[in-house]
């Protein structure tokens, strides 16, 4: 983003970094929890296709992580901006849809690579580590995209 702070002196970069960090941690933890619920924590091989469908698990993970990583930080930051008197976009739907589209696209690519790649199964513990890192990075990326777009829109509102 070109402008490090807004008209009120709010440090947009620091706020965005904070939201990205929180999103990464929360989505890493949630990814681990849902992995444990779906696949368990015992050491075993997980098949990419049937019966475990590990590859396809990237799709619901990508949808949920991108949705929450776009929606929640956007609403929280928008409330903070409004609280200090900055005009923000009336709707965040476009911002959230943009983040979800990126998350779904990345999930579909990963699912396709995993499903049609050379591996037919993976050990569960490295799979868990990969899902946790993927959840954290996807959460960070979607939050960055959404919050940056919100800041851009807010600055345009201020200039108008």
pLDDT tens for the 160 residues of the chain, in order: 444 455 567 899 999 999 999 999 999 999 999 999 999 999 999 999 999 999 999 999 999 999 999 999 999 999 999 999 998 998 999 999 999 999 999 999 999 999 999 999 999 999 999 999 999 999 999 999 999 999 999 998 888 7
DSSP annotation of 121 reads E
CA distances from 67 to 15, 31, 70, 130, 154 (A): 20, 14, 5, 20, 21
45 strand-pairing partners: 123
Q: What pLDDT shows up at residue 2?
A: 45
**Exposure of 30 in the CB half-sphere (CA atoms within 13 A):** 19
What is the value of pTM for the model shown? 0.92
Domain ranges in the chain are: 34-39+52-159
Q: What pLDDT shows up at residue 5?
A: 56
Single out the residue of 71, 73, 60 nearest to residue 30, CA to CA.
60
* Helix/strand/coil for 2: coil
Q: What pLDDT shows up at residue 78?
A: 95
Helix axes 58-83, 124-159, angle to 10 degrees: 30
22: its two tokens: 């929180």
122 strand-pairing partners: 46
* Helix/strand/coil for 32: helix
Q: What pLDDT shows up at residue 46?
A: 98
């Amino acid at each position: 983003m070109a402008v490090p702070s807004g008209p009120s002196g709010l440090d947009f970069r620091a706020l965005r970094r904070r939201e990205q960090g929180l999103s990464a941690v929360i989505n890493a933890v949630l990814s681990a929890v849902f992995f444990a619920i779906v696949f368990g924590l015992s050491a075993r091989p997980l098949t990419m296709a049937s019966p475990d469908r590990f590859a396809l698990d990237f799709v619901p993970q990508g949808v949920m992580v991108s949705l929450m990583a776009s929606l929640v930080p956007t609403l929280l930051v928008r409330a903070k901006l409004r609280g200090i008197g900055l005009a923000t976009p009336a709707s965040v739907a476009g911002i959230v849809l943009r983040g979800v589209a990126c998350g779904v696209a990345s999930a579909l690519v990963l699912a396709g690579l995993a499903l049609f790649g050379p591996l037919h199964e993976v050990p569960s513990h490295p799979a868990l580590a990969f899902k946790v890192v993927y959840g954290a990075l996807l959460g960070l990326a979607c939050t960055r995209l959404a919050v940056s777009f919100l800041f851009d829109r807010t600055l345009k509102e201020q200039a108008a």
